[in-house]
Amino acid sequence: MTSPKLVLLILCVRDRARMTAFYLRVLEWRQVVDVPVYAELRSPDGLRLGLYAEDGFGRNLGVVPEASPPITRTELYLQCEDLPAVIERAVAAGARPLSPLGPRDWGDEAAYFADPEGNVVVFARPLPR
């Protein structure tokens, strides 16, 4: 391997249990790590999403990050075959709508939400050609 491969995204979260429950319900991925300060979910294709409690995250950095604003500058862009079902699960799990489902200039149909801690989560699928 000559170039880096993205295998894990980690979000620093205030409420690890709540955020783990949210992403388990919405993504329906398998949880592979569950310890008091960290949870990790694995997608069917192997990408992992880590949810790190801010105190544990801060130990690694040497400083606890500041509290996030109502919406962070982080975006998780997820492609879904059954877009309506995933959007329904997200709303039921507490996602806050930011931009309704609609065609986007880059050729996807996408809807934007904020997760319970303000991270932007996009559910999308390619538009038919």
Coil, strand or helix at 25: helix
Residues 40 and 78 in one domain: no
User: At 25, which CATH number?
Assistant: 3.10.180.10
Q: What is the mean pLDDT of the chain?
A: 92
User: At 106, which CATH number?
Assistant: 3.30.720.110
pLDDT digits (tens, 9 = 90+) for 5-21: 889 999 999 999 999 99
Domain closes at, from 27, 48, 67: 67
**Domain that includes residue 51, residue range:** 1-67
pLDDT digits (tens, 9 = 90+) for 59-86: 777 777 777 678 888 899 999 999 999 9
- What's the Cα-to-Cα distance from 6 to each of 29, 46, 114, rounded to whole Å? 17, 10, 23
Number of domains making up the chain: 2
| Whole-number Å distance between alpha carbons of 5 and 60 | 22
pLDDT band at 56 (very low <50, low <70, confident <90, very high): confident
| Whole-number Å distance between alpha carbons of 93 and 27 | 11
pLDDT band at 53 (very low <50, low <70, confident <90, very high): very high
Residues 20 and 60 in one domain: yes
Residues 58 and 111 in one domain: no
| Whole-number Å distance between alpha carbons of 97 and 63 | 32
Residue with tokens 């992403």: 23
Predicted confidence (pLDDT) at residue 108 exceeds the cutoff of 80: yes
Q: How confident is the model at residue 119, as a pLDDT?
A: 93
Long-range contacts of 12-16 (CB under 8 A, 24+ apart): 12/52, 12/54, 12/57, 12/65, 13/51, 13/52, 13/53, 13/54, 13/117, 14/53, 14/54, 14/67, 14/68, 14/117, 15/116, 15/117, 16/51, 16/52, 16/53
Predicted confidence (pLDDT) at residue 100 exceeds the cutoff of 90: yes
Residues 63 and 1 in one domain: yes
Q: How confident is the model at residue 68, as a pLDDT?
A: 67
